[in-house]
Amino acid sequence: MTCGQRMRSEFRLKSFGLTYNDLHVFTRTPWLSNQNQLPFLLYRLAVCLYHVVIYVGLRGALGGFQPLNLIYLTDWAYISLTLHTALNALLCLADYFNSRSQRGATSDESSDDVMDTGPTISPTTTGSNAAAQESIGQDSSQPLPIPWFYKLSWVLYNVAFSEGIHITILFWALIGGDSSDVSILMHAINSVTIVIDVMVSGFPCRLLHFVYPLTFGAVYILFTVVYWAAGGRGEDNLPFIYPYLDYGGNPVLAVIVAVLSVVVAMPLCHCVVFALALARESLVRLLQWRPPGDSQNVNVTGSVDTGLENHANSTCRSGTLTSIECTAL
């Protein structure tokens, strides 16, 4: 599929949905063969452990978990990221051991067949068999419904990755940021892990899936409005969660920031994730591409020449040809 075809496929109504024709893209990396996914599984487990330790450790180091922590967008985003990595690590673990058991069962069946019937030669596919296989191939290329836990992982992927980049931009651009360990880990390193994960994993990313992080952002903005209207207090007992979302003191600025964050910033951050996924797909195709079969033709020709030469030599040795003819060969 060319880049133009890939982009045209993004702007179809079904691209809003959560269907795909291969579950393995959610649990395997395209950089390794299907038989060598152990390094990716270890990577998944390490990333999951990292995010759990970072979030639990930081909140524990800051005096334990408090309900006030849950009013901040940073915590919403990091919890989503941690849930995604944990759920996907479980899916990768299940897929890895399931594939190993299937390969073992297939190997045992193949051994039994060889012992019972000996070597067999597969017949050439012709006529109705070819048509049937073509039909099966066409059906397998159609998007298929996927289990709900794969859908949940996919939604969390879109939400956590887009929102994580959004958090990084907002924190360092609007708040000014700081050089504390907490800020660096939760507002900078989080995006680094997101970029690495997009490039390493095989997770598909659809452009129209921006609706999921956009919905997440809208829900958070609605929460901040309800929290403010109910008299909720932020850090240092201030009447707002973030200074730029002060609905009582500066409602115009709060509305502008809220609308731009949800309608503009969130889709743009999702476009960043989509561009990274597109770059990964292009790199995988580039590295897997091989030039036309020139080398195969050379090998085939060489094999034929070698066969003819061996046949001629054996003929000479058998005395069928004269000495002059053998010298010419």
Does pLDDT of 59 surpass 80? no
The pLDDT of residue 305 is above 50: no
Q: Over range 138-167, report the average pLDDT.
A: 84
Tell me the residue type at 23: L
Q: Which residue has the higher pLDDT, 108 or 249?
A: 249
Residues 199 and 283: their CA atoms lie apart, in Å, by: 10
pLDDT at 25: 95
Q: Amino acid identity, residue 52?
A: V
Q: For residue 75, what pLDDT is reported? A: 92
Across the range 294-300, mean pLDDT stands at 43
**Range in 153-157, 243-247, 284-288, 325-329 with the lowest mean pLDDT:** 325-329
pLDDT value for 107: 65
Question: Are 293 and 236 spatial neighbours (Cβ–Cβ below 8 Å)?
Answer: no
